[in-house]
């Protein structure tokens, strides 16, 4: 058999149904209008145990700029000096031309003047106009959050005694929350911000009419782009299809951002459905890192759009997705599963005899994503499932003279070697090391107690 795939005598689309050939009611924006919004440096870093230095964040920012994201959340300047340093590095890198000129830089903040002022101070100290970044001013949307997470703060703002926290109705907290967000948006606008994203946490569990009210009044206060999140990852694609059109209809003049988590493993699919239901901007993280089960993974959303709906984002370098995934593995300590779509080690690897024989006839027999689209090639793995065809291919590629007898003997030896290794394999040490590694990424309970004990023994100055 030749090492080259056979020439198909019929068009491939006649031999195998195109995966994009199905009926649906989704209506996507033009590919050039969809915006890829990366949240790795902020929400991604919130994955338990993960922490990036400002220099690492800047290196990731350069990679994200190179691959083609449109919007990048660089963090929470009000939180710490390192967050402010990240913003400095990114802004100065953009000024030097190391980041794309059209890359939108976004900073996160609560609906408070102090958070907004923290970002203003960084901009002023660096000598950048305050409108050089987008201000994402957020609050909460679900009644659970608004009353029980924000409730006491809202009481204080309204001058109501804390003793009334549990007694006041939800409507009081809804109104107070809305006033707080709109005052923050107006304050940012009045003091130099021109691009203001805004929205409420826990949108997937919020009253839809209240979300619409948040968005309408947020726009009236000076906001420019509403955002709705599935903070706990509980959206169903059916709920997305029902609610996103209603949310978009409240502020049709503005682009709508969706930010979905992945607790049920459908964050990417929900994101795609949202884009087909009225959303224009989608947030993701590299490798899907983030709180709990993470965010909608960037690669999954992009691959689903491309290979199921024929939507390719102009200027996005799909062939760099795997390199970006490996870069994040190295700096986060969080490994990608070998079976992870698009970026996993085994995506373009084949071992079983049935599959390898088919692949050697023509790659489309067992694979519909061309590996070159992602900067890769097909790999063959040899083991207990290998067949004669792939063994012959390996020998021929290596220039080893062979006949059917040698191929059979080599195949039997390969199978026996893999079986022997399986008999003696014990992955318990690797298993322990892996979970020990994950547990060591964060500071442990014991270390927290040790720090407290040490501080209690040392006098304060």
**Domain co-membership, 376 together with 419:** yes
Q: Cα(381)–Cα(371) distance, rounded to whole angstroms?
A: 16
**Is residue 166 exposed (0-12), middle (13-18) or buried (19+ Cβ within 10 Å)?**
exposed
Q: What percent of the chain has pLDDT over 90?
A: 83
pLDDT, residue 444, reads: 86
Which residue did the predictor score with more confidence, 354 or 43? 43
Q: Cα(87)–Cα(42) distance, rounded to whole angstroms?
A: 11
The DSSP call for residue 320 is: G
pLDDT, residue 84, reads: 92
End-to-end CA distance of the chain: 80
Q: What is the mean pLDDT of residues 415-439?
A: 89
Residue 136, helix vs strand vs coil: strand
123: tokens are 């901009």
Domain boundary among 272, 306, 332: 332
**Domain co-membership, 364 together with 401:** yes
The DSSP call for residue 371 is: G
Which residue in 102, 49, 96 sits closest to 71, CA to CA? 102
**Domain co-membership, 74 together with 118:** yes
Give yes or no for residue 460 having a pLDDT over 70: no
**Domain co-membership, 264 together with 359:** no
CA atoms within 13 A on the CB side of 129: 8
Contact present, 87 and 74 (Cβ < 8 Å): yes
**Domain co-membership, 354 together with 288:** no
**Domain co-membership, 309 together with 401:** no
Sorted by sequence, the CB contacts under 8 Å of residue 67 that are 6+ apart come out as 316, 317, 320, 321, 324
Which residue in 34, 1, 4, 5 sits closest to 362, CA to CA? 5
Q: Is residue 448 part of a domain?
A: no
Distances (CA, A) of 67 to 40, 97, 105, 335: 14, 15, 15, 20
**Domain co-membership, 303 together with 387:** no
**Domain co-membership, 189 together with 217:** yes
- Mean pLDDT in the chain? 95
**Which CATH number goes with the domain that contains 213?**
3.20.20.70
pLDDT digits (tens, 9 = 90+) for 262-307: 999 999 999 999 999 999 999 999 999 999 999 999 999 999 999 9
**Domain co-membership, 278 together with 356:** no
Q: Is residue 227 part of a domain?
A: yes
Q: Is residue 243 part of a domain?
A: yes
pTM beyond 0.75: yes
Per the structure, how many domains does the chain have? Answer: 2
Q: Is residue 341 part of a domain?
A: no
Q: Cα(132)–Cα(195) distance, rounded to whole angstroms?
A: 9
pLDDT digits (tens, 9 = 90+) for 90-146: 999 999 999 999 999 999 999 999 999 999 999 999 899 999 999 999 999 999 999
Domain boundary among 306, 332, 358: 332
Q: What is the mean pLDDT of residues 232-240?
A: 98
Q: Is residue 436 part of a domain?
A: no
**Domain co-membership, 296 together with 359:** no
Q: Cα(371)–Cα(333) distance, rounded to whole angstroms?
A: 26
Pairing mode, strands 281-284 and 257-260? parallel
Q: Cα(61)–Cα(26) distance, rounded to whole angstroms?
A: 32
pLDDT, residue 91, reads: 95
CA R_g for the chain:
26
Q: Is residue 285 part of a domain?
A: yes
Q: Is residue 63 part of a domain?
A: yes
**Phi, psi at 428, each rounded to 5°:** -65, -40
**Domain co-membership, 361 together with 286:** no
Which residue in 236, 245, 239, 289 sits closest to 266, CA to CA? 236
Which residue in 77, 140, 149 sits closest to 111, CA to CA? 140
Q: Which domain holds residue 355?
A: 349-424
Which residue is associated with the tokens 């008999």? Answer: 423
Residue 1's pLDDT band (cuts 50, 70, 90): low
Which residue did the predictor score with more confidence, 24 or 424? 24
**Domain co-membership, 280 together with 369:** no
Q: Is residue 9 part of a domain?
A: no
């Amino acid at each position: 058999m030749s090492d080259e795939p056979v020439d198909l005598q019929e068009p491939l689309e006649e031999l195998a149904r195109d995966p994009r050939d199905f009926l649906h009611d989704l209506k996507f924006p033009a590919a050039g209008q969809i915006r890829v919004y990366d949240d790795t440096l902020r929400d991604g870093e919130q994955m338990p145990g993960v922490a990036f230095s400002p220099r690492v964040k800047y290196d990731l920012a350069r990679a994200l700029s190179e691959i083609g994201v449109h919007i990048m959340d660089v963090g929470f300047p009000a939180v710490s000096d390192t967050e402010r340093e990240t913003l400095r590095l990114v802004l100065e890198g953009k000024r030097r031309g190391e980041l794309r000129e059209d890359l939108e830089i976004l900073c996160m903040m609560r609906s408070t003047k102090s958070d907004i002022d923290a970002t203003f101070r960084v901009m002023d100290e660096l000598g950048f106009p305050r409108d050089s970044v987008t201000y994402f001013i957020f609050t909460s949307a679900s009644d659970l959050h608004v009353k029980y997470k924000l409730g006491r703060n809202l009481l204080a703002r309204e001058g109501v005694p804390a003793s009334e926290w549990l007694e006041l109705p939800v409507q009081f907290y809804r109104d107070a929350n809305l006033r707080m967000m709109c005052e923050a948006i107006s304050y940012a606008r009045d003091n130099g911000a021109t691009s203001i994203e805004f929205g409420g946490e826990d949108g997937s569990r919020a009253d839809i009419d209240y979300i619409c009210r948040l968005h309408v009044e947020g726009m009236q206060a000076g906001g420019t782009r509403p955002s709705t999140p599935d903070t706990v990852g509980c959206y169903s694609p059916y709920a997305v299809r029902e609610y996103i059109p209603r949310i978009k209809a409240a502020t049709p003049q503005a682009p709508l951002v969706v930010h979905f988590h992945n607790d049920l493993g459908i964050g990417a699919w929900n994101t795609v459905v949202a884009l087909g239901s009225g959303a224009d901007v989608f947030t993701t993280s590299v490798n899907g890192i983030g709180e709990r089960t993470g965010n909608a993974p960037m690669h999954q959303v992009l691959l689903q759009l491309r290979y199921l709906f024929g939507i390719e984002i102009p200027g996005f370098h799909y062939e760099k997705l795997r390199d970006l995934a490996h870069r994040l593995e190295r700096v986060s300590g969080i490994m990608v599963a070998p079976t992870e779509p698009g970026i996993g080690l085994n995506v373009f690897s084949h071992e079983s005899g049935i599959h390898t024989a088919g692949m050697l006839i023509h790659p489309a027999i067992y694979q519909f994503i061309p590996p070159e689209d992602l900067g890769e090639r097909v790999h063959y793995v040899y083991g207990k499932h290998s067949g004669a065809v792939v063994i012959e291919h390996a020998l021929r590629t290596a220039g080893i003279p062979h006949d059917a007898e040698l191929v059979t003997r080599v195949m039997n030896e390969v199978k026996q070697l893999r079986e022997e290794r399986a008999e003696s394999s014990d992955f318990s040490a690797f298993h322990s090391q892996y979970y020990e590694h994950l547990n060591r990424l964060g500071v442990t309970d014991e270390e927290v107690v040790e720090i407290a004990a040490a501080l209690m023994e040392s006098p304060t100055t």
